[in-house]
Structure 1
Amino acid sequence: FVARRGAILKQIGDEFGGVTISFPRSAQRDSDRVVLKGAKECIESAKQRITEIIEDLDSQITIECVIPAKYHRTLMGTRGTRVQAITQEHDVRIKFPERGTNGVTGDEDVANGDINGSTDSLEKSQKKSDIIIITGRAEKCESAQNALLALIPITIEVEVPFDLHRFIIGQKGREVRELMQNHDVSISVPPPNASSDLISVTGSKENVVKAKKAIEERVLKIESDKQEKEAKSFTASIRVNPIYHPKIIGKRGAIITKIRNKYKVQIQFPELRGRDSQLDEDKQDVITIIGLESDVNSAKEEILEIVSGLEDLVHEEINIDSRVHPRLIGGKGKNIRKVMDQYNVDIRFPRSEGQNPNLVVISGLPENVDECKDHLLNLAEEYLDDVTEYTPPSRQHHSERPSREGSGFVVKGGPWEQRGQQAVPDTTDAQEFPSFVNDMVGPAPTPFAAPADDGSHSTPWGPKSSRH
């Protein structure tokens, strides 16, 4: 009652109206008198509660639970959380032996590593360090003991195929850490060089069983995913004329994307041949479908249906000078798309260097192909005339132009360059200079009169005004 600073007595007093309970002092050990002070009704209730506690204490027993000391730290848990949970759940008191307890007192002699030279005493001392004291009602002590025994770690081995260990571990150990945290166990995976199929799981019996079940479920899922992946790797190939490939793909891949999403398959077309990559001639028409066998077959049938519809169309090959192809196609294909929409046909120009650079293929219904053919040939003839009429200046013509680099502006054929090369023109020649000669043979000009010395300072332009 007085343990833990009288916590039980304080609880009883608060519960029953502030009753004061006084136990005899430690000097009066022979006295069993307890004094209660307070209201009569409260005293009677408190007295009854004390009696119940006494009866409960009389029914309590103490048992010893023997568990090897090396497991005690595991039983206690972090900061004693595990053992505290057991004491609260089963209403018992659990006491572990002090560290270093060996059951040997200072009065006993120890010789040659034996206690009193007796092996029995040594075994007794070893057992004493393993003893855990449990106090409480008989049935609760037993349940608490079972709970402690259940916490003793055990180790079991789970058989997992060696090639699946990396999936159990996960990326950077994420999967195995998650298993250990969820089930409070320790999992040891053998190193790669061991090539062992056994994975060790250590922990309490209950947790080990749960962890083993989780590992087995994980293995089943991995194998199931592996089988599903293998099943989805079924491959089928069909040969389709490359001229139909754009129609199967559709505008911006609309048709082929719909088939892929519908059957959940992968559909691969042959890559276009370029300067740096060469594709075998026998693989240019191969379309590959990958997925589940049933889905692959369904997608294959749908593609063949599209091809069968396209085979009813005719294909006309015409030769158009490659110099006018860019103009027929237009910027970003604007012109040629307009023609294809107008006549409801498909027009293909050569793409690889190995093909005829002038070859143009028109595909569609016969009447549409004929009309489109005539239209393209007329355009090509018109554009070709423009190409032939325009003659770009030759390099020689450009080289005759005076260079802007050097000494700057240059004048050629000036009079100074003609000196010494031809005679000076005769100005008296009436044929070459008629007006000039007539002026020379006419009346002589009146001599200019000298100005009068009258102080007016006249000039040829009149008298000069004087300023005052």
Structure 2
Amino acid sequence: MSSVAVLTQESFNEHRSGLLPEQVKSAVAGPSGAEDEDSLPTYKDAFPPLPEKPLPEGVQETGNAWTTKIKPLKSSVITQVFHVPLEERKYKDMNQFGEGDQAKVCLDIMHKTGAHLELSMAKDQGLSIMVSGKHDAVMKARKEIVSRLQTQASATVAIPKEHHRFVIGKSGEKLQELELKTATKIQIPRPEDPSNLIKISGTKEGLEKAKHEILLISAEQDKRAVERMNIEKVYHPFITGAYNKLVGEWMQETGARINVPPPSVNKTEIVITGEKEQVALAMAKIKKIYEEKKKNATTIAVEVKKSQHKYVIGPKGNTLQEILDRTGVSVEIPPLDSSSETVILRGEPDRLGQALTEVYAKANSYTVSSVSAPSWLHRFIIGKKGQNLAKITQQMPKVHIEFTEGEDKITLEGPTKDVQIVQGQIEAVVTDLVSRMDYTEISVDPKFHRHLIGKGGANINRIKEQHKVSVRIPPDNEKSNLIRIEGDPQGVQEAKKELLELASRMENERTKDMIIEQRFHRAIIGQKGEKIKEIRDKFPEVIINFPDPTQKSDIVQLRGPRTEVEKCTKFMQKMVAEMVENSFSVSVPIFKQFHKNIIGKGGANIKKIREETNTKIDLPAENSNSEMIVITGKKANCEAAKNRILAIQKELANITEVEVSIPSKLHNSLIGSKGRFVRSIMEECGELTTPT
């Protein structure tokens, strides 16, 4: 029985990012024989996972979460679970007063693709996303998840220019299929562009898949010799070698291109391309290693605590690579989601002992410790965006620091000496914070919480910034009255006082609707809002809201402290009453030829009448046929202005005034419907006055 070492998704990504270009030769080289770091086969490429139970002969291993096909729930529904490690998450910051960005994106993806998504947070702060739906919907959702929730990497792969059209396929179908299959974005140079480089962007795992598929397409079109070798996947790491050095050396030595599928691609086929002699030489080398390992490699299984597996893997997967490089023995670690504690070592019998010693040494070289710290201090120890904690972790990157919500302790894991140093540093920080920080809790009715927060968090952010405190207002679904304030003792007390005053003011707040005819709204507001500004300055604690003019509403809303609202109401009622009183109007018919005399030289006459009677007098335009002059103001003032204007007309014309006695019962008939008859007489003959 044989097996191969495998890393978890997290440690696989860490390992890839830690390789130095000069340490590794690419397993997939372009025509120039060299590629960037992203094109290097990964540790996970070299160490695919082994099932916990032996698989029947002829049954292939299952791919990872991105490629596994789950049995259909029904005839056309599938479910896939994707994991986005913490280091690859786009959105890591949590905002207390905002919804999670991840949840918003997932909701949008569901609307866009028709797939159903369920989002959960793993213990390692990675995201687990379960996607269900029809196959096409799930594939589209996966591509959206990769592009919108994971940080993106990029790589290039060089293939002959004439092979590009085969990657694109008829009407671009092949390219679309490849992008969906690998959850990547693939950019192919335009035909007129001489470049042979194809650019790929996506997750690191997706890049490897896409590059492998593109190289396979190119190999099929290569006019040179192409050979395929079916070799059990468990022997692939021995062919690539530690740090992928072996396969890189072979490609340089033979001149052939050797394409070993990454573990995320569930294939056993190794493709060799090149001149006939080059291919034959490369095949011979691969076959030799394969037969040697199949014949001589043996395995031993040991039990190592699950919590110690990460120490065997090492930072960025380095420990496993070192063991393989020094001893030629591969070490298989069960996946994170497996409960198995069995670690399998495979290699030459005389090297297994040394490898086992190294495995145990690494497993026991780390320690777990804890620091007592009140849970409310955790956020201050971590600092804004983790700045405080980063100062410690940058010096001791091998120490893992864990904060658990609600627990008054901090857990440390890492090399014993490093843990001791970090523990001392954190204890000093805790002692300092305890000596100069305080917290308090206040009770405020939840219905006022959103007002304390303010629009876009304006109120609460101002209080936090001004008093240098942290304020936790419980979300609506908790239905809790308690608001927690943490920070400098003086700042805590000042923030507490301000929040309680705001809450008290809200409890005393009143909303009142005033009925004011809409025709007066513009007059109350004034030109450029000058009049309403005066009112608001007079009653600064009262919020005055006018309805939109298009609503045709008479309701003006006042909101503020009860006593201030009452004062403002009385003030505005008085203002409206004056407007009503001053809104009386009368129309006076004056012969058109006398209008200029009514106005007077430079407007002197009309100005004098306006000022002395305190009225508004409007004359028709000069080019208008109307003779009516409209006077607006208090009734008595309007009558006075009217008499003065008529007096001017009398002086200017030979007008006779005659009083006619008509029985009062005939007055209505004389006036006519809506004054129509009396108006026609006035237009034809002049002023006609009836007793009131």
Shared topology, TM-score over 0.5?
no
Q: Which has the higher contact order (CA 8 A, sep 6+)?
A: 2
Query: Structure 2 length normalisation: TM-score?
Result: 0.26
Higher alpha-carbon Rg: 1
Query: Structure 1 length normalisation: TM-score?
Result: 0.36
